[in-house]
Structure 1
Protein backbone atom coordinates (compact mmCIF):
# COMPACT_ATOMS: atom_id res chain seq x y z
CA UNK A 1 0.00 0.00 0.00
CA UNK A 2 2.76 2.44 0.91
CA UNK A 3 6.52 2.13 0.32
CA UNK A 4 8.32 5.09 1.91
CA UNK A 5 11.92 4.41 0.90
CA UNK A 6 11.91 3.64 -2.83
CA UNK A 7 12.78 6.80 -4.81
CA UNK A 8 11.46 6.71 -8.36
CA UNK A 9 10.69 10.17 -9.82
CA UNK A 10 9.14 8.81 -13.04
CA UNK A 11 6.75 6.60 -11.10
CA UNK A 12 6.03 9.46 -8.70
CA UNK A 13 5.03 11.72 -11.58
CA UNK A 14 2.78 9.01 -13.03
CA UNK A 15 1.10 8.35 -9.68
CA UNK A 16 0.45 12.04 -9.01
CA UNK A 17 -1.00 12.47 -12.50
CA UNK A 18 -3.26 9.45 -12.03
CA UNK A 19 -4.37 10.87 -8.68
CA UNK A 20 -5.31 14.19 -10.29
CA UNK A 21 -7.31 12.38 -12.99
CA UNK A 22 -9.25 10.57 -10.26
CA UNK A 23 -9.81 13.76 -8.25
CA UNK A 24 -11.14 15.61 -11.30
CA UNK A 25 -13.41 12.64 -12.04
CA UNK A 26 -14.95 12.89 -8.56
CA UNK A 27 -15.79 16.52 -9.34
CA UNK A 28 -17.41 15.46 -12.62
CA UNK A 29 -19.66 12.96 -10.85
CA UNK A 30 -20.43 15.55 -8.15
CA UNK A 31 -21.56 17.98 -10.83
CA UNK A 32 -23.78 15.33 -12.41
CA UNK A 33 -25.33 14.60 -9.01
CA UNK A 34 -25.74 18.29 -8.11
CA UNK A 35 -27.69 18.94 -11.32
CA UNK A 36 -30.57 16.97 -12.82
CA UNK A 37 -28.30 14.92 -15.10
CA UNK A 38 -28.89 11.61 -13.28
CA UNK A 39 -32.22 12.41 -11.64
CA UNK A 40 -33.46 15.00 -9.14
CA UNK A 41 -30.43 16.99 -7.95
CA UNK A 42 -28.89 15.79 -4.69
CA UNK A 43 -27.87 18.16 -1.92
CA UNK A 44 -24.08 18.61 -1.61
CA UNK A 45 -24.32 17.21 1.93
CA UNK A 46 -25.62 13.95 0.49
CA UNK A 47 -22.91 13.88 -2.17
CA UNK A 48 -20.15 14.29 0.42
CA UNK A 49 -21.82 11.58 2.53
CA UNK A 50 -21.53 9.19 -0.41
CA UNK A 51 -17.92 10.21 -0.91
CA UNK A 52 -16.96 9.21 2.65
CA UNK A 53 -19.21 6.13 2.76
CA UNK A 54 -17.82 4.44 -0.32
CA UNK A 55 -14.24 5.62 0.28
CA UNK A 56 -14.31 4.00 3.70
CA UNK A 57 -15.76 0.82 2.20
CA UNK A 58 -12.90 0.68 -0.30
CA UNK A 59 -10.21 1.37 2.28
CA UNK A 60 -11.83 -1.08 4.69
CA UNK A 61 -11.65 -3.81 2.06
CA UNK A 62 -7.95 -3.08 1.56
CA UNK A 63 -7.35 -3.10 5.32
CA UNK A 64 -9.01 -6.50 5.58
CA UNK A 65 -6.52 -7.87 3.03
CA UNK A 66 -3.26 -6.24 4.11
CA UNK A 67 -4.04 -6.10 7.86
CA UNK A 68 -2.00 -2.96 8.60
CA UNK A 69 -0.50 -2.29 12.00
CA UNK A 70 -2.40 0.54 13.62
CA UNK A 71 -1.29 2.78 16.47
CA UNK A 72 -3.35 4.85 18.87
CA UNK A 73 -4.53 7.83 16.79
CA UNK A 74 -4.39 11.45 17.91
CA UNK A 75 -8.15 11.95 17.92
CA UNK A 76 -8.00 15.70 18.46
CA UNK A 77 -5.92 16.31 15.34
CA UNK A 78 -7.94 13.82 13.32
CA UNK A 79 -11.26 15.39 14.27
CA UNK A 80 -9.99 18.85 13.39
CA UNK A 81 -8.52 17.72 10.08
CA UNK A 82 -11.61 15.72 9.08
CA UNK A 83 -14.10 18.42 10.09
CA UNK A 84 -12.44 20.97 7.84
CA UNK A 85 -11.90 18.40 5.10
CA UNK A 86 -15.57 17.40 5.12
CA UNK A 87 -16.72 21.03 4.96
CA UNK A 88 -14.23 21.83 2.20
CA UNK A 89 -15.26 18.96 -0.04
CA UNK A 90 -18.96 19.75 0.54
CA UNK A 91 -18.47 23.37 -0.52
CA UNK A 92 -16.47 22.22 -3.54
CA UNK A 93 -19.22 19.81 -4.60
CA UNK A 94 -21.77 22.61 -4.18
CA UNK A 95 -19.80 25.03 -6.35
CA UNK A 96 -19.39 22.78 -9.40
CA UNK A 97 -23.16 22.52 -9.81
CA UNK A 98 -23.18 26.21 -10.78
CA UNK A 99 -19.80 27.18 -12.23
CA UNK A 100 -17.40 25.47 -14.67
CA UNK A 101 -15.31 22.71 -13.12
CA UNK A 102 -12.12 24.37 -14.35
CA UNK A 103 -12.97 27.57 -12.46
CA UNK A 104 -13.79 25.73 -9.24
CA UNK A 105 -10.66 23.60 -9.53
CA UNK A 106 -8.43 26.62 -10.16
CA UNK A 107 -9.86 28.43 -7.14
CA UNK A 108 -9.25 25.33 -5.02
CA UNK A 109 -5.52 25.72 -5.67
CA UNK A 110 -5.65 28.66 -3.26
CA UNK A 111 -5.76 26.28 -0.28
CA UNK A 112 -1.93 26.28 0.22
CA UNK A 113 -2.06 30.08 0.17
CA UNK A 114 -4.58 30.15 3.00
CA UNK A 115 -2.59 27.46 4.81
CA UNK A 116 0.49 29.67 4.56
CA UNK A 117 -1.37 32.63 6.09
CA UNK A 118 -2.91 30.48 8.84
CA UNK A 119 0.50 29.00 9.66
CA UNK A 120 1.63 32.38 11.00
CA UNK A 121 -0.63 32.40 14.11
CA UNK A 122 -1.20 28.64 14.39
CA UNK A 123 2.27 27.21 13.70
CA UNK A 124 4.42 30.23 14.44
CA UNK A 125 5.90 30.30 10.95
CA UNK A 126 7.61 33.37 9.50
CA UNK A 127 6.61 34.36 5.98
CA UNK A 128 9.11 36.03 3.67
CA UNK A 129 8.57 38.29 0.64
CA UNK A 130 8.70 35.41 -1.86
CA UNK A 131 5.79 33.61 -0.25
CA UNK A 132 3.78 36.79 0.27
CA UNK A 133 4.34 37.66 -3.38
CA UNK A 134 3.20 34.21 -4.50
CA UNK A 135 0.07 34.53 -2.37
CA UNK A 136 -0.74 37.93 -3.85
CA UNK A 137 -0.38 36.56 -7.39
CA UNK A 138 -2.68 33.61 -6.67
CA UNK A 139 -5.30 35.82 -5.04
CA UNK A 140 -5.24 38.13 -8.05
CA UNK A 141 -6.08 35.15 -10.24
CA UNK A 142 -8.96 34.23 -7.94
CA UNK A 143 -10.28 37.78 -8.12
CA UNK A 144 -10.32 37.51 -11.92
CA UNK A 145 -12.21 34.20 -11.76
CA UNK A 146 -14.81 35.76 -9.46
CA UNK A 147 -15.55 38.22 -12.29
CA UNK A 148 -16.33 41.08 -9.87
CA UNK A 149 -18.59 43.15 -12.10
CA UNK A 150 -22.40 43.46 -11.80
CA UNK A 151 -22.86 41.82 -15.19
CA UNK A 152 -20.57 38.82 -14.76
CA UNK A 153 -20.10 38.20 -11.02
CA UNK A 154 -20.41 34.49 -10.14
CA UNK A 155 -21.77 34.19 -6.58
CA UNK A 156 -21.29 30.41 -6.68
CA UNK A 157 -17.55 30.97 -7.14
CA UNK A 158 -17.55 32.11 -3.52
CA UNK A 159 -18.40 28.53 -2.58
CA UNK A 160 -15.16 27.35 -4.22
CA UNK A 161 -13.31 30.23 -2.58
CA UNK A 162 -14.72 29.17 0.79
CA UNK A 163 -13.72 25.57 0.06
CA UNK A 164 -10.14 26.69 -0.54
CA UNK A 165 -10.09 28.62 2.74
CA UNK A 166 -11.44 25.68 4.72
CA UNK A 167 -9.08 23.20 3.06
CA UNK A 168 -6.23 25.55 3.90
CA UNK A 169 -7.13 25.01 7.53
CA UNK A 170 -7.21 21.27 6.88
CA UNK A 171 -3.62 21.51 5.64
CA UNK A 172 -2.59 22.94 9.01
CA UNK A 173 -3.89 19.81 10.73
CA UNK A 174 -2.24 17.61 8.10
CA UNK A 175 1.08 19.30 8.88
CA UNK A 176 0.55 18.60 12.57
CA UNK A 177 -0.25 14.95 11.81
CA UNK A 178 2.72 14.46 9.46
CA UNK A 179 5.03 11.71 10.66
CA UNK A 180 3.01 10.94 13.78
CA UNK A 181 1.08 7.93 12.47
CA UNK A 182 1.18 5.41 9.59
CA UNK A 183 -0.25 7.07 6.50
CA UNK A 184 -2.75 4.30 5.79
CA UNK A 185 -4.05 4.74 9.33
CA UNK A 186 -4.45 8.48 8.67
CA UNK A 187 -6.53 7.71 5.56
CA UNK A 188 -8.63 5.14 7.39
CA UNK A 189 -9.36 7.35 10.41
CA UNK A 190 -10.01 10.39 8.19
CA UNK A 191 -12.67 8.60 6.17
CA UNK A 192 -14.21 6.96 9.25
CA UNK A 193 -14.63 10.28 11.05
CA UNK A 194 -15.74 11.92 7.81
CA UNK A 195 -18.50 9.36 7.46
CA UNK A 196 -19.68 10.00 11.04
CA UNK A 197 -19.84 13.77 10.44
CA UNK A 198 -21.44 13.41 7.01
CA UNK A 199 -24.02 10.90 8.30
CA UNK A 200 -25.28 13.38 10.89
CA UNK A 201 -25.25 16.34 8.49
CA UNK A 202 -27.13 14.51 5.71
CA UNK A 203 -30.17 13.55 7.82
CA UNK A 204 -32.26 16.72 7.14
CA UNK A 205 -31.64 16.64 3.36
CA UNK A 206 -31.57 12.90 2.60
CA UNK A 207 -33.50 11.73 -0.45
CA UNK A 208 -33.57 8.32 -2.08
CA UNK A 209 -31.02 8.33 -4.95
CA UNK A 210 -31.77 6.77 -8.30
CA UNK A 211 -29.81 3.70 -9.37
CA UNK A 212 -27.60 5.93 -11.54
CA UNK A 213 -27.01 8.27 -8.62
CA UNK A 214 -25.99 5.39 -6.36
CA UNK A 215 -23.45 4.41 -9.01
CA UNK A 216 -22.10 7.97 -9.19
CA UNK A 217 -21.87 8.21 -5.38
CA UNK A 218 -19.95 4.93 -5.29
CA UNK A 219 -17.66 6.18 -8.05
CA UNK A 220 -16.89 9.38 -6.10
CA UNK A 221 -15.94 7.47 -2.96
CA UNK A 222 -13.87 4.78 -4.63
CA UNK A 223 -12.12 7.22 -6.96
CA UNK A 224 -11.24 9.44 -4.01
CA UNK A 225 -9.81 6.48 -2.10
CA UNK A 226 -7.75 5.53 -5.15
CA UNK A 227 -6.64 9.15 -5.59
CA UNK A 228 -5.49 9.42 -1.97
CA UNK A 229 -3.56 6.16 -2.25
CA UNK A 230 -1.89 7.16 -5.53
CA UNK A 231 -1.06 10.63 -4.19
CA UNK A 232 0.55 9.30 -0.99
CA UNK A 233 2.62 6.77 -2.89
CA UNK A 234 3.68 9.42 -5.40
CA UNK A 235 4.74 11.86 -2.69
CA UNK A 236 6.78 9.07 -1.06
CA UNK A 237 8.86 8.45 -4.18
CA UNK A 238 10.17 11.94 -5.04
CA UNK A 239 10.81 15.38 -3.57
CA UNK A 240 7.79 17.62 -3.09
CA UNK A 241 9.31 20.25 -5.39
CA UNK A 242 9.43 17.68 -8.21
CA UNK A 243 5.90 16.30 -7.86
CA UNK A 244 4.08 19.58 -7.10
CA UNK A 245 3.74 20.70 -10.76
CA UNK A 246 2.10 17.40 -11.67
CA UNK A 247 -0.69 18.02 -9.16
CA UNK A 248 -1.80 21.00 -11.25
CA UNK A 249 -2.87 18.65 -14.06
CA UNK A 250 -6.13 18.38 -12.08
CA UNK A 251 -7.12 21.57 -13.88
CA UNK A 252 -6.52 20.01 -17.30
CA UNK A 253 -8.56 16.92 -16.44
CA UNK A 254 -11.35 19.03 -14.95
CA UNK A 255 -11.63 21.16 -18.09
CA UNK A 256 -11.57 18.07 -20.31
CA UNK A 257 -14.20 16.22 -18.27
CA UNK A 258 -16.43 19.30 -18.14
CA UNK A 259 -16.29 19.58 -21.92
CA UNK A 260 -16.91 15.88 -22.53
CA UNK A 261 -19.67 15.61 -19.94
CA UNK A 262 -21.40 18.98 -20.19
CA UNK A 263 -20.00 20.69 -23.29
CA UNK A 264 -18.45 23.48 -21.21
CA UNK A 265 -15.30 25.17 -22.48
CA UNK A 266 -13.20 27.63 -20.43
CA UNK A 267 -13.44 31.20 -21.72
CA UNK A 268 -10.62 33.73 -21.87
CA UNK A 269 -11.23 34.99 -18.34
CA UNK A 270 -11.15 31.45 -16.96
CA UNK A 271 -7.86 30.70 -18.71
CA UNK A 272 -6.30 33.97 -17.54
CA UNK A 273 -7.43 33.60 -13.94
CA UNK A 274 -6.43 29.95 -13.74
CA UNK A 275 -3.03 30.70 -15.23
CA UNK A 276 -2.34 33.43 -12.67
CA UNK A 277 -3.45 31.19 -9.78
CA UNK A 278 -1.23 28.37 -11.01
CA UNK A 279 1.71 30.75 -11.30
CA UNK A 280 1.30 31.89 -7.70
CA UNK A 281 0.75 28.34 -6.45
CA UNK A 282 3.82 27.08 -8.32
CA UNK A 283 6.02 29.84 -6.88
CA UNK A 284 4.69 29.06 -3.40
CA UNK A 285 5.32 25.31 -3.85
CA UNK A 286 8.87 26.01 -5.05
CA UNK A 287 9.56 28.30 -2.11
CA UNK A 288 8.09 25.84 0.40
CA UNK A 289 10.34 23.10 -1.02
CA UNK A 290 13.41 25.34 -0.76
CA UNK A 291 12.58 26.18 2.86
CA UNK A 292 12.07 22.50 3.68
Structure 2
Protein backbone atom coordinates (compact mmCIF):
# COMPACT_ATOMS: atom_id res chain seq x y z
CA UNK A 1 0.00 0.00 0.00
CA UNK A 2 2.67 2.49 1.02
CA UNK A 3 4.68 1.53 -2.05
CA UNK A 4 1.80 2.75 -4.19
CA UNK A 5 1.34 5.95 -2.20
CA UNK A 6 5.01 6.97 -1.90
CA UNK A 7 6.84 5.07 -4.66
CA UNK A 8 10.58 4.59 -4.23
CA UNK A 9 10.55 6.16 -0.77
CA UNK A 10 10.76 3.07 1.41
CA UNK A 11 14.40 2.20 0.66
CA UNK A 12 15.65 4.60 3.33
CA UNK A 13 13.64 2.76 5.98
CA UNK A 14 15.95 -0.24 5.66
CA UNK A 15 19.20 1.77 5.98
CA UNK A 16 20.33 0.99 2.44
CA UNK A 17 22.92 3.43 1.02
CA UNK A 18 21.28 6.53 -0.47
CA UNK A 19 23.06 9.04 -2.70
CA UNK A 20 22.95 12.70 -1.70
CA UNK A 21 20.39 14.70 -3.65
CA UNK A 22 19.54 18.04 -2.00
CA UNK A 23 16.86 18.95 -4.58
CA UNK A 24 14.99 15.68 -4.02
CA UNK A 25 15.50 16.01 -0.26
CA UNK A 26 13.90 19.46 -0.29
CA UNK A 27 10.95 18.15 -2.29
CA UNK A 28 10.45 15.20 0.07
CA UNK A 29 10.53 17.40 3.18
CA UNK A 30 8.12 19.84 1.53
CA UNK A 31 5.72 16.98 0.72
CA UNK A 32 6.04 15.68 4.29
CA UNK A 33 5.23 19.16 5.62
CA UNK A 34 2.11 19.43 3.46
CA UNK A 35 0.98 15.96 4.55
CA UNK A 36 1.59 16.57 8.26
CA UNK A 37 -0.40 19.80 8.14
CA UNK A 38 -3.16 17.81 6.42
CA UNK A 39 -3.33 15.36 9.33
CA UNK A 40 -3.95 18.21 11.79
CA UNK A 41 -6.66 19.54 9.49
CA UNK A 42 -8.39 16.14 9.51
CA UNK A 43 -7.95 15.92 13.28
CA UNK A 44 -9.66 19.30 13.67
CA UNK A 45 -12.53 18.18 11.44
CA UNK A 46 -12.93 15.03 13.55
CA UNK A 47 -12.68 16.92 16.84
CA UNK A 48 -15.46 19.29 15.83
CA UNK A 49 -18.83 18.55 14.26
CA UNK A 50 -17.76 18.97 10.63
CA UNK A 51 -17.98 15.25 9.76
CA UNK A 52 -20.46 14.19 12.43
CA UNK A 53 -20.59 14.24 16.25
CA UNK A 54 -17.16 15.31 17.54
CA UNK A 55 -14.82 12.42 18.36
CA UNK A 56 -12.72 12.27 21.51
CA UNK A 57 -9.00 13.02 20.85
CA UNK A 58 -8.14 9.52 22.12
CA UNK A 59 -10.32 8.03 19.39
CA UNK A 60 -8.65 10.18 16.75
CA UNK A 61 -5.25 9.07 18.07
CA UNK A 62 -6.40 5.44 17.94
CA UNK A 63 -7.39 5.83 14.28
CA UNK A 64 -4.00 7.34 13.51
CA UNK A 65 -2.14 4.36 15.02
CA UNK A 66 -4.54 1.74 13.64
CA UNK A 67 -4.31 2.72 10.01
CA UNK A 68 -0.63 3.70 10.14
CA UNK A 69 0.13 0.26 11.57
CA UNK A 70 -1.78 -1.44 8.75
CA UNK A 71 0.24 0.53 6.19
CA UNK A 72 3.58 -0.19 7.84
CA UNK A 73 2.97 -3.89 8.49
CA UNK A 74 1.95 -4.26 4.84
CA UNK A 75 5.15 -2.53 3.78
CA UNK A 76 7.22 -4.83 6.02
CA UNK A 77 5.48 -7.84 4.47
CA UNK A 78 6.42 -6.62 0.99
CA UNK A 79 9.99 -5.50 1.67
CA UNK A 80 10.84 -8.23 4.19
CA UNK A 81 13.72 -6.28 5.81
CA UNK A 82 16.18 -8.00 8.12
CA UNK A 83 15.05 -7.03 11.63
CA UNK A 84 17.54 -6.87 14.47
CA UNK A 85 17.63 -6.74 18.24
CA UNK A 86 14.74 -4.86 19.84
CA UNK A 87 15.45 -2.41 22.67
CA UNK A 88 12.09 -2.81 24.37
CA UNK A 89 12.58 -0.28 27.16
CA UNK A 90 13.42 2.51 24.73
CA UNK A 91 10.45 1.58 22.56
CA UNK A 92 8.04 1.64 25.50
CA UNK A 93 9.26 5.09 26.52
CA UNK A 94 9.21 6.47 22.97
CA UNK A 95 5.75 5.10 22.19
CA UNK A 96 4.15 6.17 25.48
CA UNK A 97 5.29 9.77 25.10
CA UNK A 98 4.49 9.72 21.37
CA UNK A 99 0.92 8.54 21.95
CA UNK A 100 0.31 11.13 24.68
CA UNK A 101 1.86 13.90 22.60
CA UNK A 102 -0.17 13.23 19.47
CA UNK A 103 -3.37 12.87 21.52
CA UNK A 104 -2.81 16.25 23.19
CA UNK A 105 -1.99 17.80 19.81
CA UNK A 106 -5.21 16.47 18.28
CA UNK A 107 -7.13 17.81 21.29
CA UNK A 108 -5.64 21.28 20.91
CA UNK A 109 -6.49 21.78 17.22
CA UNK A 110 -10.18 21.36 17.97
CA UNK A 111 -10.09 24.63 19.91
CA UNK A 112 -7.33 26.83 18.50
CA UNK A 113 -6.19 27.67 14.96
CA UNK A 114 -4.16 24.90 13.32
CA UNK A 115 -1.37 27.37 12.56
CA UNK A 116 -1.06 28.30 16.25
CA UNK A 117 -0.93 24.65 17.35
CA UNK A 118 1.61 23.87 14.61
CA UNK A 119 3.82 26.80 15.60
CA UNK A 120 3.79 25.73 19.24
CA UNK A 121 4.68 22.18 18.15
CA UNK A 122 7.95 23.55 16.75
CA UNK A 123 9.09 23.85 20.36
CA UNK A 124 9.71 20.07 20.34
CA UNK A 125 13.46 20.46 19.64
CA UNK A 126 13.74 23.14 22.32
CA UNK A 127 12.25 20.88 24.98
CA UNK A 128 14.38 17.99 23.70
CA UNK A 129 17.49 20.17 23.99
CA UNK A 130 16.69 21.08 27.60
CA UNK A 131 15.84 17.48 28.52
CA UNK A 132 19.05 16.23 26.90
CA UNK A 133 21.09 18.06 29.55
CA UNK A 134 20.13 15.76 32.46
CA UNK A 135 19.11 12.68 30.45
CA UNK A 136 21.83 12.49 27.79
CA UNK A 137 24.49 14.53 29.63
CA UNK A 138 24.78 16.88 26.65
CA UNK A 139 26.33 20.32 26.94
CA UNK A 140 24.32 23.33 25.80
CA UNK A 141 26.14 26.48 24.75
CA UNK A 142 24.95 30.10 24.76
CA UNK A 143 23.67 30.00 21.17
CA UNK A 144 21.41 27.05 21.93
CA UNK A 145 20.09 28.78 25.02
CA UNK A 146 19.46 31.93 22.99
CA UNK A 147 17.49 29.93 20.40
CA UNK A 148 15.47 28.27 23.16
CA UNK A 149 14.65 31.56 24.88
CA UNK A 150 13.60 33.20 21.60
CA UNK A 151 11.33 30.26 20.71
CA UNK A 152 9.77 30.22 24.18
CA UNK A 153 9.04 33.96 23.92
CA UNK A 154 7.19 33.20 20.68
CA UNK A 155 5.17 30.52 22.44
CA UNK A 156 4.32 32.99 25.21
CA UNK A 157 3.01 35.41 22.58
CA UNK A 158 0.84 32.68 21.06
CA UNK A 159 -0.54 31.79 24.49
CA UNK A 160 -1.88 35.37 24.76
CA UNK A 161 -1.39 35.53 28.54
CA UNK A 162 -3.97 38.20 29.33
CA UNK A 163 -7.37 37.61 30.95
CA UNK A 164 -9.17 38.87 27.84
CA UNK A 165 -7.34 36.78 25.23
CA UNK A 166 -5.76 33.80 27.01
CA UNK A 167 -6.41 30.51 25.19
CA UNK A 168 -6.39 27.60 27.70
CA UNK A 169 -6.41 25.09 24.83
CA UNK A 170 -3.03 26.46 23.72
CA UNK A 171 -1.62 24.87 26.87
CA UNK A 172 -2.59 21.50 25.37
CA UNK A 173 -0.37 22.21 22.36
CA UNK A 174 2.42 23.44 24.64
CA UNK A 175 2.20 20.30 26.77
CA UNK A 176 2.16 18.20 23.58
CA UNK A 177 5.38 19.89 22.46
CA UNK A 178 7.03 19.13 25.81
CA UNK A 179 5.88 15.51 25.76
CA UNK A 180 7.04 14.99 22.17
CA UNK A 181 10.33 16.61 23.16
CA UNK A 182 10.71 13.74 25.61
CA UNK A 183 9.87 11.32 22.81
CA UNK A 184 12.74 12.80 20.79
CA UNK A 185 15.13 11.80 23.58
CA UNK A 186 14.09 8.17 23.18
CA UNK A 187 14.28 8.45 19.39
CA UNK A 188 17.84 9.74 19.70
CA UNK A 189 18.75 6.76 21.88
CA UNK A 190 17.18 4.38 19.34
CA UNK A 191 18.81 5.96 16.30
CA UNK A 192 21.69 3.86 15.02
CA UNK A 193 20.64 0.88 17.14
CA UNK A 194 17.75 -0.27 14.95
CA UNK A 195 16.75 0.25 11.33
CA UNK A 196 14.06 2.91 10.73
CA UNK A 197 11.38 0.53 9.48
CA UNK A 198 11.80 -1.65 12.58
CA UNK A 199 11.45 1.41 14.81
CA UNK A 200 8.30 2.49 12.97
CA UNK A 201 6.81 -1.00 13.06
CA UNK A 202 7.32 -1.48 16.79
CA UNK A 203 6.32 2.10 17.58
CA UNK A 204 3.02 1.82 15.76
CA UNK A 205 2.29 -1.66 17.13
CA UNK A 206 2.82 -0.45 20.70
CA UNK A 207 1.01 2.80 20.03
CA UNK A 208 -1.98 0.88 18.70
CA UNK A 209 -2.05 -1.27 21.84
CA UNK A 210 -2.00 1.76 24.15
CA UNK A 211 -4.53 3.64 22.02
CA UNK A 212 -6.89 0.64 21.91
CA UNK A 213 -6.98 0.42 25.70
CA UNK A 214 -7.53 4.17 26.03
CA UNK A 215 -10.24 4.40 23.36
CA UNK A 216 -12.28 1.60 24.97
CA UNK A 217 -13.45 4.14 27.56
CA UNK A 218 -14.62 6.79 25.08
CA UNK A 219 -15.39 4.91 21.83
CA UNK A 220 -18.33 6.01 19.73
CA UNK A 221 -19.21 4.64 16.33
CA UNK A 222 -17.78 6.99 13.68
CA UNK A 223 -19.79 8.07 10.66
CA UNK A 224 -18.60 6.81 7.24
CA UNK A 225 -16.98 10.21 6.65
CA UNK A 226 -15.19 9.98 10.00
CA UNK A 227 -13.92 6.46 9.23
CA UNK A 228 -12.50 7.81 5.96
CA UNK A 229 -10.83 10.72 7.78
CA UNK A 230 -9.37 8.40 10.44
CA UNK A 231 -7.98 6.13 7.73
CA UNK A 232 -6.56 9.14 5.89
CA UNK A 233 -4.77 10.36 9.04
CA UNK A 234 -3.07 6.99 9.53
CA UNK A 235 -2.09 6.53 5.89
CA UNK A 236 -0.90 10.12 5.51
CA UNK A 237 1.11 9.93 8.73
CA UNK A 238 2.91 6.81 7.51
CA UNK A 239 3.53 8.45 4.15
CA UNK A 240 4.86 11.61 5.80
CA UNK A 241 7.24 9.54 7.92
CA UNK A 242 8.54 7.83 4.77
CA UNK A 243 9.06 11.17 3.04
CA UNK A 244 10.77 12.71 6.05
CA UNK A 245 13.13 9.78 6.70
CA UNK A 246 14.18 9.66 3.06
CA UNK A 247 14.55 13.43 2.80
CA UNK A 248 16.82 13.48 5.86
CA UNK A 249 18.91 10.68 4.32
CA UNK A 250 19.54 12.64 1.10
CA UNK A 251 20.87 15.93 2.53
CA UNK A 252 22.36 17.52 5.64
CA UNK A 253 19.95 18.16 8.49
CA UNK A 254 20.91 21.84 8.47
CA UNK A 255 19.66 22.05 4.87
CA UNK A 256 16.34 20.25 5.26
CA UNK A 257 15.33 21.39 8.77
CA UNK A 258 14.27 24.94 7.77
CA UNK A 259 12.14 23.49 4.96
CA UNK A 260 10.03 21.59 7.49
CA UNK A 261 8.80 24.96 8.80
CA UNK A 262 6.65 25.07 5.66
CA UNK A 263 4.24 22.96 7.73
CA UNK A 264 3.13 26.21 9.36
CA UNK A 265 2.31 27.76 5.97
CA UNK A 266 0.32 24.72 4.87
CA UNK A 267 -1.52 24.64 8.21
CA UNK A 268 -2.58 28.27 7.85
CA UNK A 269 -3.70 27.72 4.25
CA UNK A 270 -5.73 24.62 5.15
CA UNK A 271 -7.33 26.34 8.15
CA UNK A 272 -8.36 29.27 5.95
CA UNK A 273 -9.61 27.11 3.08
CA UNK A 274 -11.74 24.80 5.22
CA UNK A 275 -12.60 26.72 8.40
CA UNK A 276 -12.16 30.33 7.13
CA UNK A 277 -9.72 31.01 9.97
CA UNK A 278 -7.46 33.97 9.20
CA UNK A 279 -4.30 34.26 11.38
CA UNK A 280 -4.34 37.51 13.36
CA UNK A 281 -1.32 39.70 14.01
CA UNK A 282 -0.59 38.00 17.34
CA UNK A 283 -0.49 34.58 15.67
CA UNK A 284 1.83 35.80 12.93
CA UNK A 285 4.18 37.55 15.36
CA UNK A 286 4.33 34.59 17.74
CA UNK A 287 4.90 32.13 14.90
CA UNK A 288 7.64 34.32 13.41
CA UNK A 289 9.44 34.50 16.77
CA UNK A 290 9.31 30.71 17.21
CA UNK A 291 10.62 30.19 13.67
CA UNK A 292 13.42 32.66 14.37
CA UNK A 293 14.48 30.65 17.40
CA UNK A 294 14.42 27.46 15.33
CA UNK A 295 16.47 28.99 12.55
CA UNK A 296 19.08 30.26 15.04
CA UNK A 297 19.40 26.70 16.32
CA UNK A 298 19.72 25.28 12.79
CA UNK A 299 22.33 27.90 11.83
CA UNK A 300 24.40 27.23 14.94
CA UNK A 301 24.32 23.45 14.44
CA UNK A 302 25.47 23.90 10.82
CA UNK A 303 28.36 26.13 11.92
CA UNK A 304 29.45 23.59 14.51
CA UNK A 305 29.40 20.73 11.99
CA UNK A 306 31.47 22.78 9.55
CA UNK A 307 34.03 23.54 12.27
CA UNK A 308 34.32 19.87 13.23
CA UNK A 309 34.77 18.77 9.62
CA UNK A 310 37.78 21.04 9.05
What is the TM-score normalised by the length of structure 1? Answer: 0.98
Match of 1:13 in 2: 26
Residue of 184, 188, 203 corresponding to 2:216: 203
Q: Give, in angstroms, the shift of residue 281 of structure 1.
A: 1.1
Residue of 51, 74, 77 corresponding to 2:87: 74
Distance 1:171 1:62 in 2: 24
Q: Give, in angstroms, the shift of residue 63 of structure 1.
A: 1.3
Distance 1:4 1:49 in 2: 34
Match of 2:7 in 1: none
Match of 1:145 in 2: 158
Give runs of aligned pairs for residues 93-242 of structure 1, distance below 5 A: 93-242=106-255
Within the alignment, does 1:36 sit opposite 2:36 as a pair? no
Q: Give, in angstroms, the shift of residue 67 of structure 1.
A: 1.1
Deviations 1:26-73 (Å, cap 9, x if unpaired)?
Answer: 000000000000000000000000000000001111111111111121
Residue of 34, 39, 53 corresponding to 1:26: 39
Match of 2:4 in 1: none
Q: Give, in angstroms, the shift of residue 282 of structure 1.
A: 1.3
What is the TM-score normalised by the length of structure 2? Answer: 0.93
What root-mean-square deviation, in Å, do the aligned CA atoms of Structure 1 and Structure 2 show? 0.9
| Contact 1:31 1:97 (C-alpha < 8 Å) held by counterparts | yes
Distance 1:48 1:285 in 2: 30
Match of 1:286 in 2: 299
Give runs of aligned pairs for residues 253-268 of structure 1, distance below 5 A: 253-268=266-281
| Contact 1:9 1:237 (C-alpha < 8 Å) held by counterparts | yes
Distance 1:80 1:290 in 2: 32
Distance 1:289 1:209 in 2: 47
Distance 1:96 1:237 in 2: 32
Please list every run of at least 4 consecutive aligned residues from structure 1 whose deviation after the TM superposition is greater than 2 angstroms. Answer: 285-292
Q: Give, in angstroms, the shift of residue 287 of structure 1.
A: 2.3
Secondary structure of residue in 2 paired with 1:205: coil
